[in-house]
Structure 1
């Protein structure tokens, strides 16, 4: 693929994110707002880009929200997926970051940008072409994937598709390097279609592609964005062992592999990450997924802290001086150990 623009060089670094943190603190942001992982200083709140319509108005709103939130020092973590709003969310991120860099508000190394791939998608800038038509035209008819490569959950783990998604995400976001790429709800989308050994073989090949792009310096880390697989009892179908996934990465690239993050839901309704002891690491059993991540040196990003606003109506007692419903919900989530 040939891009028609100058991509933004760089990636999140220890020095850059420290500078962002120091500037934010100078502008009255508390030091406690930041978390440290692998020498990166990241805000305890990030911005997701899942919601919204495929409209020009929402494009502007999302772009401006990213711009103003980063400018204020409130966030330096931005998350997306290639299928969010049919690629338009990734493009909004690219426009916002370019404005921030061009306006000398930040440098690229101060912000941590993640995206996901795996789900099928179309391109929202060409709305006349629906998802299935787009997939056929761009991938199946060209022999890049076969129709059998699409799961019943509309997910594709074919390495050719993963490569194309990474390349397209780089273009969409106008970046030279993406800080973190997740495989998106992979097991949730495939466990009804393949057996465990087949899935492990598929994930092995996906991790090989991610390591290939790490070697090219096109991504820095990779991980798994999940919904249920790390939140189920270990005997249930659909459950995954995190240690097993880490061992796959080690088999691909040794101890210096790039599998360093997971994402999973955690909020007042979805409490399994903190309460359910469903993981084992080495001789240690009866661990929660958060405890397992700590032992395996895996960073955790949580999703849906407000459960898409559904938790705003839940009665939560005031505590520690918090009397605002939104702040109470967010604080409960981000104050959890290992998050």
Structure 2
């Protein structure tokens, strides 16, 4: 097993990702640099490399010499499965870390099996890129942390157009250039599931679209969020440019319900959402995106009758009306944590005339769910919460690891997203993958006991 968990077999079958562009050769004069680049060690040890290597063997400055077009490809069943198999049978992951995600498969026809180019094998932990200062050092740390995570069995990356004012997406772009730059590196674009978000557009993009009379001020909800078709397309193109890629696996509309419903009301929001879905289906046909979804905070965590409440079944039905049976609405994202448990604990959704939890509804409707905020931006690590988390099943896990394990064990979940920027935090968070997630019955029993202790 190579350093960081990548076996030599992972390098077999690597192909060029950048269409029509030959990979650059490392030109650094640092001792051992070329040997590191040839063996992929610079990607498996990015924190060390960035400190000791002037150009970081493709992780940093010399990766920017790759020119001639964007990196092509998207996550596929074959490549994600190949990636996952490098970690099976080793101490690097336990059963349940990699999961077949059926959300990208064509929907079932009654009496037949799923058809088409369907499932992806995704890690139960994904790298989030939300928090951090807007400076060069944070850029370096985020880039290195993503690369380190990829070499440790994480093949899910989540970002957004407004995270750190676009710097997060540019870090992701540097990651993909680094993967391309290092010769014979088995990690590649089609083994990685990448999501980004449109909605909170930059001031510069907003001003440009308004100057071109493509949008007006009233198209923006609360002055900051825009899911007008022109905004969606322009924002996506800006994101693709930031990341230097041709296709994103998943494009979310970012907190659309939370910003638009209070501003324009539910009927007008659904009318706007229909137009947005039509645009997203067109972007899917053009292969700029492979799927779309809603990244949310409150709308799937509130009870029926609440102003912000959304029925997942209604949203899916809208997507079916727009895109047919095999529409592109495949995922949602929302907070799921020890204290934000509505997704599985409350039967506030309705599917086929019966009450269900959001997780049950999503599973029945063929929608994948990504969990955000497992640590609630660190709030759950405070001393008063620590004492309430006592889990005999995981005596060796830290509080942060227990919180991640709780989130990733949520029934029917695709993956839990967590951000990290240091080698130590990547290692600590990756240790969670060594422990099998809970089965559904044990999960509900454990969570019930934790709730009782918290209220005792």
Band the TM-score falls in, shorter-chain normalisation: over 0.9
Q: What residue in structure 2 maps to residue 25 of structure 1?
A: 88
Q: CA deviation at 1:27?
A: 5.2
Q: What residue in structure 1 maps to residue 172 of structure 2?
A: 93
Q: CA deviation at 1:276?
A: 1.4
Q: What residue in structure 1 maps to residue 109 of structure 2?
A: none
1:165-314 alignment, distance < 5 Å? 165-285=235-355, 287-313=356-382, 314=385
What do the CA deviations read for 1:82-112 (whole angstroms, capped 9, x no partner)?
Answer: 0111111011001112212322141211000
Q: CA deviation at 1:321?
A: 3.0
What do the CA deviations read for 1:184-209 (whole angstroms, capped 9, x no partner)?
Answer: 00010011111211111101111111
Q: In 2, are the aligned partners of 1:67 and 1:97 still within 8 Å (CA)?
A: no
36 and 317 in structure 1: CA distance in 2 versus 1, 3 angstrom threshold: same
Specify the structure having the higher radius of gyration (Cα): 2
Q: CA deviation at 1:137?
A: 3.3
Q: What residue in structure 2 maps to residue 128 of structure 1?
A: none
Q: CA deviation at 1:298?
A: 0.5
What do the CA deviations read for 1:207-227 (whole angstroms, capped 9, x no partner)?
Answer: 111110110111111100000
Q: In 2, are the aligned partners of 1:71 and 1:105 still within 8 Å (CA)?
A: no
CA distance in structure 1 between the partners assigned to 2:84 and 2:249 by the alignment? 18
Q: In 2, are the aligned partners of 1:5 and 1:174 still within 8 Å (CA)?
A: no
Q: In 2, are the aligned partners of 1:71 and 1:100 still within 8 Å (CA)?
A: no
Q: Which segments of 5 or more consecutive residues in structure 2 lack a partner in the other structure? A: 1-66, 103-118, 414-456
167 and 136 in structure 1: CA distance in 2 versus 1, 3 angstrom threshold: closer
Q: What residue in structure 2 maps to residue 61 of structure 1?
A: 141
* Matched positions, count: 324
Q: Could you tell me which of 157, 160, 165 is aligned with 1:81?
A: 160
Q: Which segments of 5 or more consecutive residues in structure 1 lack a partner in the other structure? A: 122-130
1:74-153 alignment, distance < 5 Å? 75-103=154-182, 104-121=185-202, 131=203, 134-135=204-205, 137-152=207-222
Q: In 1, are the aligned partners of 2:292 and 2:328 still within 8 Å (CA)?
A: yes
CA distance in structure 2 between the partners assigned to 1:250 and 1:152 by the alignment? 29
C-alpha RMSD over aligned residues: 1.5
CA distance in structure 1 between the partners assigned to 2:334 and 2:311 by the alignment? 14
CA distance in structure 1 between the partners assigned to 2:394 and 2:219 by the alignment? 52
Q: In 1, are the aligned partners of 2:77 and 2:120 still within 8 Å (CA)?
A: yes
Q: Which runs of 4+ in 1 moved over 4 A?
A: none
Q: CA deviation at 1:29?
A: 2.2
| SS across alignment from 1:300 | strand
Q: In 1, are the aligned partners of 2:300 and 2:310 still within 8 Å (CA)?
A: yes
Q: CA deviation at 1:319?
A: 2.5
Q: CA deviation at 1:327?
A: 1.4
Q: What residue in structure 2 maps to residue 45 of structure 1?
A: 125
CA distance in structure 2 between the partners assigned to 1:26 and 1:295 by the alignment? 32
Q: Could you tell me which of 1, 10, 14 is aligned with 2:77?
A: 14
Q: In 1, are the aligned partners of 2:394 and 2:402 still within 8 Å (CA)?
A: no
Is 1:158 aligned to 2:233, yes or no? no
